[in-house]
Structure 1
Amino acid sequence: MIKRISFLWVFLTLTHGCTQKSNKVTHKHTNALVHETSPYLLQHAHNPVNWEAWKPEVLERAKKEDKPLLISIGYAACHWCHVMEKECFEDEEVAQMMNENFINIKIDREERPDVDQIYMDAIQMMSGNGGWPLNIVALPDGRPFWGATYVPKDNWIKSLKQLTDLYKNDRNKIVEYATNLSNGINAINLVENKTDSGIYNLEQLDEAVTNWSQYFDNYLGGHKRAPKFMMPNNWDFLLHYATANTKPELLEQVNTTLKRMAYGGIYDHVGGGFSRYAVDTKWHVPHFEKMLYDNGQLASLYAKAYAVTKNELYKNVVKETIGFVKEELLDKSGGFYSSLDADSLDEHGELEEGAYYVWTKEELEQLLGDDYKVFKDYYNINSYGHWEEGNYVLIRDKTNEEIAQKHNISVTDLKKKLNNSLSTLKKERAKRSKPRLDDKILTSWNGLMLNGLVDAYRYLGNEEYLQLALKNAKFIEKEMIKDDHALFRNHKKGESSINAFLEDYATVIEAYLGLYEVTFDEKWLNHSKRLLDYAKIHFLDKESGMFFFTSDDDHSLIRRSIETNDNVISASNSIMAKNLLKFHKLFPDDGYGDMAKQMVKNVQDDFAESAQGFTNWMHLILYENQNFYEIAVVGDNYKGIGKEISSNYLPNSILVGSKKEGGIDLLKSRYNEGQTLIYVCIEGTCKLPVTSANDALGQL
């Protein structure tokens, strides 16, 4: 157990009580970050603090100069990161203290999740809390001994002075604390290789889901708490579980959640796409930053839900979300940018959270004229939709039919009025100062968006989504995959500089495999398999059977992390386990299946009490305990029949196809001239072939 040193922690729990001013535009100071490409790091390139990027040579210099590291971690769309920059890092008094006593390192957590994971674990062990900006003070070798999130200037100076004095005068106590903390950081990341148990059965899974379900908000969707994160992997699993096991009450929970999120202010009714989370229980007031990873995953989730329910609301959400991503985050190269900031300039020229998105009643009345009455009721320009200071965040709570009936108009006329109103608001909003764009391109987030486009095409059939997917897949192929099938993590303006992490491999493997299923172009399957095999060589921990987050080619940190908990993005190991299981179905002699089973065994003891944090893993329990089908389509009409089959929600299947002979065993010796045959198989053993998609679906 880690012993706390209370006097090192005096200033961690501090209140957020400041306002954001506009950024400085003069360049009195320039530091080493000016040579970086990350927008977040570049935001700090003209601070008076002598910031450095996280590099081995910087850490070596800290050891030579015997200075502690001051590591500050954030990201471009982070509101409180901007606040602390303004109050502390742009202040010359603060900078002088930092420069004289520390080696100061700025990290974009989105570029370097490996470093962020370790120091987030550290601050949570020290305080029980975490968040960004994440500020850590560490020994020159990287072992942390103090941390805090947002800190106002006076407390920041006071804290750094105490830490400087301690480092100079009581080094042994700091080293002892850092050593204990570092041991704890490593201990909590250990994963045991569990060989003495079988894989979870359906009865155990039912119990885990029942335990979890007591936390559901059955009226407003999601979980009974605020803030509310959307957690796409939670509802993705429950959609699979509810449909595979005929659980109507759980399907209702999924539908309630998806409807309420789409109705809420967390969804941008004017421009499409979702913000990161809601600060309240009714999905009303978002933290206004819009992230690629959320929108990629949600496009996938809503497309699947549409395949199950045929709910037009879900189809529209997919359409508008992809429209937002295409309009705001698509680079001409085919890559997708990372995010839009929560903050933008208000009418007074000052940065304010949500300024771009909110409306006053007076604005809406003036802009919408006669249509305001309908709009007012539909989007709650009343106490329910009021946020603060006369600003409204659009939120629905009634169906089209209810509003149409109240105003004695048809649903068709209602939709026409609303579309005209939203179009007017979008044109008006375009006149405002836009949120800042984080235009770096991250491989894993592009993998999630690619997967979202693939699922949108699969279940909605829109060819535009396939073309966007192919353009993005080719971008990843050209810019992010090296000759040896290693990946880069980042890309901006033709430059890629950071080796990829496990999440980059896992998401691209999954997306490329999905792209193969809707195109039957074996290039994507081959890319996917080569990436999988590369990850096996360079990321696999042979002792635990899990995958490290970092490659064996990377500079070592104080810990080589193993990521197992599904969060807003699924754990890289859970995505890898699903990939391995699916590749086992195509290449049964390569040992992928045994690897996937072992990975699940290693984490399944946590399912009963922490199901929400392992939902992507729990798909594998369904795969292992219920039939998982390989579906092979061979013949001239293989693409047409494949598209027909894939438009159905079949999570426990993998689809392959070819015109004649294909490159995998499932496609060999299956061709019969003049016919397109469909084979439904389990572990390579196939039923009699059929010639129609309906007949094949009947065999499942």
Structure 2
Amino acid sequence: MKKVFFFILLGTAVLGCKQNSNEVTHKHTNALIHETSPYLLQHAHNPVNWEAWHPDVLEKAKKEDKLLLISIGYAACHWCHVMEKECFEDEAVAQVMNENFINIKIDREERPDVDQIYMDAIQMISGQGGWPLNIVALPDGRPFWGATYVPKDNWIKSLEQLAELYKNDKQRVTDYANDLANGLQAINLVENSKDSELYSLEQLDGAVQNWTQYFDTFLGGHKSAPKFMMPNNWDFLLHYATATNKPEIMEFVDTTLTRMAYGGIYDHVGGGFSRYAVDVKWHVPHFEKMLYDNGQLTSLYAKAYAVTKNNLYKDVVVETIAFVEEELMDKNGGFYSSLDADSLDEHGNLEEGAYYVWTKEQLIDLLGDDFKLFQEYFNINSYGHWEEENYVLIRDKSNDEIANSFDIDIKTLRKTIKKNLSQLKSERNKRSRPRLDDKILTSWNGLMLKGLVDAYRYLGNDDYLKLALKNAEFIEREMIKEDGSLYRNHKGGKSSINAFLDDYATVIDAYFSLYEVTFDEKWLNLSKNLLEHTQKHFFDDASGMFFYTSDKDRSLIRRTIEVDDNVISSSNSMMAINLYKFDKLFPEQGYGKTSKQMFKNVQKDFDRRAQGFSNWLHLVLYTHQNFYEIAIIGDDYMEMAQQIGKEYLPNSIMAGSKEDGNLELLKNRSVPGRTLTYICQEGACKLPVSTAKDALQQL
């Protein structure tokens, strides 16, 4: 591909991620006023003539032969707010943009299909990416220039030069756009592998061993800053450590989960996790709080509690769910997307983290005689200091260590700290709250639903099942269309965007898991219907994988095939696991064959970068170790299932009924007056047992 000959027009691009004040009247209003996304509505009164992403807008650009300026961000994104204030609220900037471009604003959370393509483009152009993501493209959408955050003067200069370049040397621009479009297609190709062998356990051991060189065994996570929580990484390593008896891997998982829970990245006052930490010790977070992080981490900590019975992990689950219920739950049962990193400080200025940080003087005034204990517990010292006079609460000692140093018992310590945090929460509630992104996204709700199911399964709190059912019913009522397809988004009673593969994959998984704890076949049938819809409308016969977008939607530059596991697992890895599990209940449908082929298509990459395919790696353990179908039949089937299900059994699925059920696994197994558990593999079952203890011994 040709070198990017005009990326140097840009000043330094800054990786990053403002929102209009609530004015009574507005000098400017653009087409975004008709949207529901809070991020798009933030820009509805910019002087820029913003449009939302829509086929009609692209047709307009073609007719007028005008370049597209595509700006992508999200509501909780700090640097998006900065660039809006500096550039998009400025009338001189808007004049340049309006005269030379068709300007399109995109909420990346609503339109990840567009974001994926242009994020790949900017990484090919510059070798880096981030948000705000700003792309200049030909009228048909093919990109040729990109940048993240750009200061005002550089922004104006760059746009003027790009417009002049297109006017005077259109062929040069078009040639480069062609090359880039070809590159975007090439990096997205997945071959239908003809490998005869599946990735082995021995190969997996080697891949994990290579991965360990990046482990931070003292502070947890990976040896880097910023430090990202990667739930699917730690989830797989938990599975791997327990399945292959690797205590050193389990120790690393424990260290990571403990340090994350101790860190400032965890909100000790209000529960829930922020997006990532800017340092190596999980101390100072990027303060935005996202539903997708908290949903996945709820699942992870619940599983880790099942393995370790560590009360710290249980506390994290309880407090995180309380945060989500209090801050992110709509009355209709759906969950909102995020809380912003920024909020108003005591002087009325928007500041990142203003809602969450404390000065020493504030804490002394609030806590009085308890301050000395609190100071030691949460490091109101050089270790916990952030900047200026502000501290971010962070732990680095266990309850036992603190209790011993103060010569008090654990019960007294916990009671005192709980009282202190309640005092801080009451005081914090008086502050200006972070701004809320109250759109509801299907895939993120699927992740949170799975978190609630896992929390109920492993902690046994009935309230979590009630919350899960309320959310599951919301998804069924508001997000599933009459034709069986899904919507991506919902806000104020309105849904407008067709769902993407991750929406289907997460809800399929969550509904399947909900069936495993309720044995209500409604959820299993809904899950299966969604699975069949994806096979019909998303599957690519040529590659044996699933496209990210449905064949019902207008194709963009490419139909993306997503395989790399990132902060959220890739939609294809989730689908491969869904298919694997459904094959155990419906072996005649061919789901297992598809899952196996998907696995083969990506396994060549496992050696190179195991952490980027961690969700896929579960399939190695499923395939090469015993995988069980657990069938429970009889009057006390729910009680039996709860006793078995609270154990961490990743290589299994559960089915149950009071009498012989509709599933093949549940037919002809009922014995009057007895509750029996059958441990099966590929439909072949061991002799039934009548106690959970005996069933677990067979497992």
Conserved? CA contact 1:23–1:86, under 8 Å:
no
The correspondence of residues 282-681 of structure 1 with structure 2, limited to 5 A, is 282-681=281-680
Distance of aligned partners of 1:66 and 1:21 in 2 relative to their CA distance in 1, 3 Å threshold:
closer
Are 1:239 and 2:238 counterparts?
Answer: yes
- Distance in 2 (CA, whole Å) between partners of 1:382 and 1:352 is 22
1:327 to partner: Cα distance:
0.2
SS of corresponding position for 2:534: helix
Question: Which AA in structure 2 matches 1:659?
Answer: K
Conserved? CA contact 1:12–1:149, under 8 Å:
no
RMSD, matched Cα: 1.2
Are 1:37 and 2:36 counterparts?
Answer: yes
SS of corresponding position for 2:379: coil
1:16 to partner: Cα distance:
8.0
1:484 to partner: Cα distance:
1.6
Conserved? CA contact 1:600–1:620, under 8 Å:
yes
SS of corresponding position for 1:70: strand
Aligned to 2:228: 229
Conserved? CA contact 1:457–1:465, under 8 Å:
yes
Conserved? CA contact 2:224–2:280, under 8 Å:
yes
1:7 to partner: Cα distance:
2.6
- Distance in 2 (CA, whole Å) between partners of 1:169 and 1:176 is 14
- Distance in 2 (CA, whole Å) between partners of 1:583 and 1:610 is 28
Aligned to 2:62: 63
Question: Which AA in structure 1 matches 2:651?
Answer: N
Question: Which AA in structure 2 matches 1:429?
Answer: R
SS of corresponding position for 2:614: helix
Aligned to 2:84: 85
Deviations 1:48-90 (A, max 9, x none): 0000000000000000010000000000000000000000000
- Distance in 2 (CA, whole Å) between partners of 1:535 and 1:15 is 38
1:13 to partner: Cα distance:
2.7
Deviations 1:81-112 (A, max 9, x none): 00000000000000011001100000000000
- Distance in 1 (CA, whole Å) between partners of 2:373 and 2:209 is 42
Conserved? CA contact 2:509–2:578, under 8 Å:
yes
Conserved? CA contact 1:344–1:435, under 8 Å:
yes
Question: Which AA in structure 2 matches 1:657?
Answer: G
Distance of aligned partners of 1:141 and 1:21 in 2 relative to their CA distance in 1, 3 Å threshold:
closer
1:22 to partner: Cα distance:
7.4
Conserved? CA contact 2:19–2:42, under 8 Å:
no
- Distance in 2 (CA, whole Å) between partners of 1:9 and 1:429 is 45
1:412 to partner: Cα distance:
1.1
- Distance in 1 (CA, whole Å) between partners of 2:669 and 2:219 is 50
Deviations 1:573-628 (A, max 9, x none): 00000000000000001000010110010001111111010000000000000000
TM-score (norm: length of structure 1) = 0.99
Conserved? CA contact 2:439–2:489, under 8 Å:
yes
Question: Which AA in structure 2 matches 1:322?
Answer: I
Distance of aligned partners of 1:27 and 1:220 in 2 relative to their CA distance in 1, 3 Å threshold:
same
SS of corresponding position for 2:13: coil
- Distance in 1 (CA, whole Å) between partners of 2:203 and 2:175 is 43
Aligned to 1:141: 140
Question: Which AA in structure 1 matches 2:677?
Answer: I
1:401 to partner: Cα distance:
1.1
Aligned to 2:94: 95
Are 1:153 and 2:152 counterparts?
Answer: yes
Conserved? CA contact 1:359–1:392, under 8 Å:
yes
Conserved? CA contact 2:20–2:42, under 8 Å:
no
1:175 to partner: Cα distance:
0.1
1:196 to partner: Cα distance:
2.7
Question: Which AA in structure 2 matches 1:179?
Answer: N
1:121 to partner: Cα distance:
0.1
Aligned to 2:216: 217
Conserved? CA contact 2:676–2:689, under 8 Å:
yes
Question: Which AA in structure 1 matches 2:383?
Answer: Y
Deviations 1:383-432 (A, max 9, x none): 00000011000000001111111112111111111111100000000000
Are 1:120 and 2:119 counterparts?
Answer: yes
Distance of aligned partners of 1:608 and 1:29 in 2 relative to their CA distance in 1, 3 Å threshold:
same
SS of corresponding position for 1:378: helix
Question: Which AA in structure 1 matches 2:299?
Answer: S
Distance of aligned partners of 1:329 and 1:697 in 2 relative to their CA distance in 1, 3 Å threshold:
same
- Distance in 1 (CA, whole Å) between partners of 2:661 and 2:88 is 59
1:5 to partner: Cα distance:
2.7
Deviations 1:304-350 (A, max 9, x none): 00000000000000000000000000000000000000000011111
- Distance in 1 (CA, whole Å) between partners of 2:62 and 2:660 is 61
Aligned to 1:249: 248
Distance of aligned partners of 1:630 and 1:448 in 2 relative to their CA distance in 1, 3 Å threshold:
same
- Distance in 1 (CA, whole Å) between partners of 2:322 and 2:11 is 42
- Distance in 2 (CA, whole Å) between partners of 1:403 and 1:180 is 61
- Distance in 1 (CA, whole Å) between partners of 2:606 and 2:553 is 32
Gaps of 5+ in 1: none
Distance of aligned partners of 1:660 and 1:358 in 2 relative to their CA distance in 1, 3 Å threshold:
same
Deviations 1:206-235 (A, max 9, x none): 000000011000000000000011000000
SS of corresponding position for 1:535: helix
Conserved? CA contact 1:520–1:658, under 8 Å:
yes
SS of corresponding position for 1:105: strand
1:452 to partner: Cα distance:
0.2
The correspondence of residues 248-267 of structure 1 with structure 2, limited to 5 A, is 248-267=247-266
Question: Which AA in structure 2 matches 1:126?
Answer: I
| % identical aligned pairs | 74
SS of corresponding position for 2:616: helix
- Distance in 2 (CA, whole Å) between partners of 1:143 and 1:161 is 19
Show structure 1 runs of 4+ deviating over 2 A.
5-10, 12-18, 20-26
- Distance in 2 (CA, whole Å) between partners of 1:635 and 1:544 is 44
Conserved? CA contact 2:16–2:131, under 8 Å:
no
Question: Which AA in structure 2 matches 1:168?
Answer: K
Aligned length, in residue pairs:
698
Question: Which AA in structure 2 matches 1:610?
Answer: R
Question: Which AA in structure 1 matches 2:235?
Answer: D
Question: Which AA in structure 2 matches 1:342?
Answer: A
- Distance in 2 (CA, whole Å) between partners of 1:93 and 1:294 is 39
Distance of aligned partners of 1:12 and 1:213 in 2 relative to their CA distance in 1, 3 Å threshold:
farther
1:197 to partner: Cα distance:
3.2
Aligned to 1:689: 688
Question: Which AA in structure 2 matches 1:316?
Answer: D
Distance of aligned partners of 1:539 and 1:78 in 2 relative to their CA distance in 1, 3 Å threshold:
same
- Distance in 1 (CA, whole Å) between partners of 2:583 and 2:20 is 54
Conserved? CA contact 1:12–1:148, under 8 Å:
no
Deviations 1:640-681 (A, max 9, x none): 101111100000000000011212100111111111111000
- Distance in 2 (CA, whole Å) between partners of 1:9 and 1:658 is 66
Distance of aligned partners of 1:644 and 1:15 in 2 relative to their CA distance in 1, 3 Å threshold:
closer
Question: Which AA in structure 1 matches 2:295?
Answer: G
Deviations 1:219-268 (A, max 9, x none): 00000000011000000000000000000000000000000000000000
Distance of aligned partners of 1:15 and 1:531 in 2 relative to their CA distance in 1, 3 Å threshold:
closer
SS of corresponding position for 1:512: helix
- Distance in 1 (CA, whole Å) between partners of 2:6 and 2:53 is 28
Question: Which AA in structure 1 matches 2:551?
Answer: D
Distance of aligned partners of 1:21 and 1:576 in 2 relative to their CA distance in 1, 3 Å threshold:
closer
